[in-house]
Chains A and B, each alone.
Chain A
Amino acid sequence: MKALRRIAAAAGPPLVFAIIVLGLWQLYASVGPVSSLTLPKPTEVASALWENRSLLLENTWVTVEEILLGFAAAMVLGFLLAVLIRSSRLIERALYPWLVASQMVPVPAVAPLIVIWTGFDLRPKVIVIALVCFFPITVNTIDGLRAADPELLRLLRTLRANRVQRFVKAQLPAALPFIFSGLKVAAAFSVIGAVFAEWVGSSEGLGYLILTLNNQSATAEMFATIAILGVIGIALFLLVRGVEHLALPWYYEAREDEGEPEVDGLMLGAEV
């Protein structure tokens, strides 16, 4: 019950906002100086969604598969790269500038090359998505691995913790909130990556569908496709957030009820 109410409280305001925007849009597209080829009404988009549901659904699965694989690859590689960079100061100094420089290379420009190297199957899409997504994961993980309290690491050393134990018991847990921040940004990027990848070399998927619909000037159908891409992005984001809440109860429960601190349970003395 409490959970339901919390979800309603969270979903209420954005839903109201969406309804207002859609209403204004409907109004403008109905009475404003625009043709439905330029700006279809939300109701037209909705019927395009329904009429093309099987075509859209088919291509949705294609794109969702690419995104999940690409996101997973970015997660693993982004994390390992961050651990590598944090493993020694020399490696950090050698690699970190190149990590940042890698973001100056526009992924849409290298996407065709990746298609040439790997072919037209799933691989180039997974690679392009991973390339778009790994950066926020890596950067946040690097920051997170710096976040552990140096005094805590000292304390663990006096308790005979070796390097691996200090990593597992202190550095990794301290990094987790940062890692999840990176994952949430990456979730939002992953959809963009999928569309790029499909534009340069694909014959299916929602990104590819947008290209074909664009050629046919099927504006309402394009909007419908874009709406689905948006939903995929939001769903992935919410999935990451859900996992985050499960994985970091300490992080959220400490913030939730900032009520009065509990009394000092001093019941000492007699039983010693």
Chain B
Amino acid sequence: MRSEKLQAERISKVYGGNGGRVAALHEVDLDVGAGEFISIVGPSGCGKSTLFNILAGLIRPSGGRVLLDGSPPDQLLGEIGYMLQRDLLMPWRTVLDNTCVGLELNGVGRREARERARAEFPRFGLAGFEQHWPAKLSGGMRQRAALLRTFLAGREVMLLDEPFGALDALTRRQMQAWLLDLWQADSKTIVFVTHDVEEAVFLSDRVYVMSGRPGRVVLCLDIDLPRPRRQDITMTEGFQALKARLMEPLEAALRETQPGAVG
């Protein structure tokens, strides 16, 4: 029996602007158990980031509600870790001070925050770059710094919005394996957005496929592959079968939006 950590109940979102109304999400249900790794795939513009903004408490849904530990929280904002699509490192802070910012905002003193962050640098592949300006880091390192900032903030649930989207294939593979190790070592609950089906299968306990706008959940598939997983699992028949089952509704969703739009 798994305990539900984060749930979305029939979440809808309509953006109202002077340029007309945009229906971004339509009655999306999502169940995330404690310690699970959940992925969401869907065409670009189907409302994945919108869903995350709602789950993080940054914007209000037009309909439906978010449950945390089974009940609606008084204050959702600040309860959930959120790594946005862009790394958003502050150029005026060193890499070390960027990763500390969540600790500082939790009332931890500067010095102690730095100590705790510094201790994590090797594990995040950032050792030796503590005093660098973020502008000098490669894309992969910037993502890891942003991830470390999210980890250090100490929330149990973390939303990761296409964290590896901008990385090259090789770096991406390494980061996936590394993220899984991190997730298991720290027993976090992760909700992960990606446009890469293989990535979703490799990482997840369960994958949600969303349709084109307005985003709906068209498939929710349990990934019952054994863990710990290594890269060679992607060659197995079981893996390929799961991937094929996900590709079908995703390609349908892509066709109904525009040709060629993935993301």
Contact = CB atoms under 8 A, between A and B. Distances in A.
Interface stretch (B84-92, B200-208, B245-253): B84-92
A151 B88 contact: yes
Interface majority SS (helix, strand, loop, mixed), chain B: loop
Interface residues of B, number: 44
A155 B127 CA distance: 25
A158 B77 contact: yes
A266 interface: yes
Given A265-B129, A272-B181, A151 B153 contact: no
Contact of A157 (B77, B127, B174, B185): B77
Contact of B178 (A149, A261, A264, A268): A268
Query: Which of A152, A161, A250, A271 gathers the greatest number of chain B CB atoms within 10 Å?
Result: A250
Q: How large is the interface on A (under 10, 10 to 19, 20 to 34, 35 or more residues)?
A: 20 to 34
Contact of B105 (A159, A176, A251): A159
Interface string B126-161: 111100010111111100000000000100000000
A204 to B, nearest CB: 43
A145 to B, nearest CB: 15
B81 to A, nearest CB: 7
A155 B84 contact: yes
B163 interface: no
A160 B125 contact: no
A169 B86 CA distance: 18
B174 A158 contact: no
Contact of B90 (A152, A154, A161): A152
A254 interface: yes
A173 interface: yes
Contact of B58 (A158, A253, A262, A263): A158
Contacts of A268: 125, 174-175, 177-178
Contact of A271 (B84, B101, B122, B177): B122
Interface of A: 149, 151-152, 154-161, 165, 169-170, 173-174, 176, 248-251, 253-254, 261-269, 271-272
List the 10 closest pairs (A to B, CB-CB), nearest first.
A160-B78, A254-B135, A264-B138, A272-B181, A173-B92, A158-B82, A268-B178, A159-B102, A268-B125, A264-B140
Given A155-B84, A250-B92, 9 more contacts: A152-B90, A158-B77, A173-B90, A250-B135, A251-B92, A254-B136, A261-B138, A265-B127, A266-B125
